[in-house]
Amino acid sequence: MLIKHETKGIIYFMKLKKIIIALMTALTFYGTMNVAASTEIAEAKTTKVYKSHLSKANQKAKNWIAYHESRGSYHARNGRYIGRYQLSASYLHGNYSKANQEKTADHYVHARYGSWVNAKHHWKAYGWY
C-alpha cells in the first residue's frame, strides 16, 4: 500500500514539474517578446531620421566600410568601438542610435578624410579608417 501511494506521489510530482516548466518557458518567451515589442515601440517613438546627402560613390564607399567594420550591424562591439562604423564610444556620447551613428560617422569622415571615398582608400591601405 505504501509503495502504491509513493508511486502516485512521484507521478503527481512529475506532472506538476512538467506543468511548471511549461509555464516558466511560456512566461520567459512572452516576457522576451514583450520586452522586444516595447523596445521597438520606444525606438519608433524616439527615432530621429538622419539623411546624408552623399554622392553614389561616397555612399558606396560608406557601405563598404560599414560592411568591413561590422558586417553592417549597428549593435557590433569591439572594446571601446561601437556600432556599424566602429566609432569610439567617446564620439557617440552615449547615444548609440542609428541616426547618431550615421551622423557621427559622416562628421568624422568629413573632418578626417574629406570623403568616404578617401576613407575607403585609407582603410584599404591600413586596415582601418
Q: What is the pLDDT of residues 81-118, one digit of tens each?
A: 999 999 999 999 999 999 999 999 999 999 999 999 99
- Written as nine digits, the cell of 32 is 522576451
Burial of 70 (0-12, 13-18, 19+ CB in 10 A): buried
What pLDDT does 18 receive?
72
In this structure, are residues 97 and 81 in contact, taking their beta carbons and an 8 Å threshold? no
Q: What is the mean pLDDT of residues 56-85?
A: 97
49 bridge partner residues: none
pTM over 0.75: no
Tell me: the pLDDT tens digits for 17-52? 777 776 666 666 555 444 444 444 445 455 678 999
Distances (CA, A) of 13 to 22, 23, 25: 14, 15, 18
pLDDT tier at 4, thresholds 50, 70, 90: low
